[in-house]
Structure 1
Amino acid sequence: MSKILIRGAKVLGGEPQDVLIDGATIAEVGTGLSTEGAEVVEAAGQVLLPGLVDLHTHLREPGREDSETVLTGTRAAASGGYTNVFAMANTFPVADTAGVVEQVWRLGKESGYCDVQPIGAVTVGLEGAKLAELGAMHESAAGVTVFSDDGKCVHDAVIMRRALEYVKAFGGVVAQHAQEPRLTEGAQMNEGVVSAELGLGGWPAVAEESIIARDVLLAEHVGSRVHICHLSTAGSVEIVRWAKSRGIDVTAEVTPHHLLLTDELVRSYDPVYKVNPPLRTERDVLALREALADGTIDIVATDHAPHPHEDKDCEWAAAAMGMVGLETALSVVQETMVDTGLLDWAGVADRMSFKPAQIGQATGHGRPVSAGEPANLTLVDTAYRGRVDPAGFASRSRNTPYEGRELPGRVTHTWLRGKATLVDGKLT
């Protein structure tokens, strides 16, 4: 059927309403809507959100299809309630030309589960020495607006300034992986009491904070936009808060795992907890939650980083950094932000749909749940609680830090322009 009636859902956590989808569009929102000619989805007690948008996803294709493909990654995204993801550039070959970003964009179109917007590399080969073809990637069919060397920092201040100047011409944004490389040589985990006790190389907070401080000043000088990837320390929060108070055009993201997990977990030496930036202290976690609540941190982004079994099931020092996150992100946000009273569901929609779509200029996504808008929607059973079982993941990889952990919330349905990609928790 082309018509779908979502009956009795709490739109953005508010009063129960009916939402009628007709084709690719929301036709009507109200109470007591007619069911004639429509497939009915009974949604009493569930929360209806705009489709989630992830500004920071690693889909690995081309080059590391053993970890993830655009198809498996977008299936994971749909399972987690996402209708749009931004694919990072650290592929093989690197997405530093119009040809590669168009390839990723077309693969996303073919998948049908989730819109994929490629992120272009800032520098050729992520080497930090020469600007990539920013203009050509923007003018390509992929229409790239976000550029990042994520996985590596654009550490040269002159290159960073030039990138900010270049993207300003077309309203783009540079998303910085804030990590001063000389301060993190040999680093294995957060620098602090736990690293000292375990004898692992420390990753100091200042390695992140010094780059953020430099880049917000560069953005102010140039009059351009900078976005801070996976912000992880209390000090970084204060720098971003200061920059915003000066009117600097900076936005920032936090990952679900940095909202929940701490460096105490590294005592197990389980590489599933090895991530970049590293898990920090309880003090940092609490500061990140407060900053997300008060708007200093703009959005939640997953930094979904899939790895094959052999790259994580090894000794700590040799293990790859990263965690999968698309299928658990909303549950972690409910656990850390909603169930703690720091955010309501309207706030979740803002941080996980409206604002990331705005930052990335994701046309048709992050829109209100109202008549005339694209039917990109996510239905969530917020009363559900269950243990995370990675065996059921749609992602090709299983490197989740939440295996066996009980988390709240379950995405039951996802619609991409009115087409169901997830029904009753199962991919279509």
Structure 2
Amino acid sequence: MKKLFGTDGIRDIVNENLTVDLAMRLGNAVGSFFKPKYTKLYLARDTRNSGKLLEMAVAVGAAAAGIEVESCGIFTTPALAYVTHKEKALGIVISASHNPPIYNGLKVFCEGYKVSDETEEKLEDIILKGLMDYCNYREIGKYLEDSAKQEYIDYVISLYKDKLDETNLKIAIDVAHGAAGAIIDSIFGALSLNYHVYNNEPNGFNINDNCGSTSPDFLSKKVKEKGYDLGILFDGDADRCLFIDRYGNVVDGDHLMAINALKLRKQGRLKKNLIVTTVMSNLGLEEYLNKNGIILLRTDVGDKYVLERLLKEEAILGGEQSGHVIFLDRSTTGDGIITALETLETIKFFSKSLEELTSVVPKYPQYLKNITVKDKFKVINDKRLEGLKKKYEGIENFRIVVRTSGTEHKVRIMSEGISKELVDECITEFSNLIENIDNE
């Protein structure tokens, strides 16, 4: 079992478990492990106050191992993935994505893809053994600050140029005081979209603070108050995207995958006629896709597992209910900006409003609850949880998923079924048991 890496890289509270020393050791481990095949490491960060500190620590470690380092500054996660794919290089993103600013994280990329669990385990082994690779002084890596933003911006514009003309939609965008704010005008402006950006005044401490994809109420109110046709929500590093319809309702990743899948099929882009999602996606999505002759495959939670299955199946569309959506013929990872533009293209393609498109996708009652615990591994391994699960096994059209967070000290519960009363009862019973186990 991995000790440092979770479902999306290393992520923890800054200056407690995520320290400058750990960041330096990761940079050094990446440099040591990937030499001599790779000699260039790109770095990017979101807007957290701890970002520059951790970025410099990673750079020091990597340069000491003999790797050249180039900082892209404040840059989205998918944008860095694009650059590393294009340049056939390594990358590390300093971001805790949707988490509050007390957290930060370190995500490792190789040629556009998040590294595998196996590679993360090998990097962990180097770090935990305290091994440091110091190259000869003549071979110390250079440090460059030459932003690669324009490469990514030009690429995205090229994908959607002339495809969104005459959409005539009035759009509200919440960038969550995060990395999307650094490039959103360059892309949406170049595509001549009618939009207004909110929450784009980062101060190092307000990223994801009552805004963005984890707090949609702000944008929901703006959409209704100011008469926008729709809203678009990003998280701190812009790998997630959710929408708001004109009535203020949240359109989650399940619905975005559903409506985009139909467009991709009509365009001849939906390879194998399937999409890949996780165990958290709603049963309504599966029902809708089945009715439309599209296959749904499920993986464990985590967009990296969705990507692995997409590559295995040679498919191109997959994602998570939370808004990580992968268009593999466009990007090597979940890209919030590409998801937003694909969805705007889908709205134009079908000549229907967002709410018209999503209203036909059913949604079963589903309850998600996060419980903060002292020891998530103690809780999840308690046999009483399995005993309680058996009580609900065999109930038709009913699911219960209990798992640890890969990024926080939490246990997550998802209950879903036709009966809202049964869903609520199940959540209450599991919540009480988890809290009792944690307090013992």
TM-score by length of 2: 0.28
Greater RCO between the two (CA within 8 Å, min separation 6)? 1
TM-score by length of 1: 0.28
Rg comparison, structure with higher value: 2
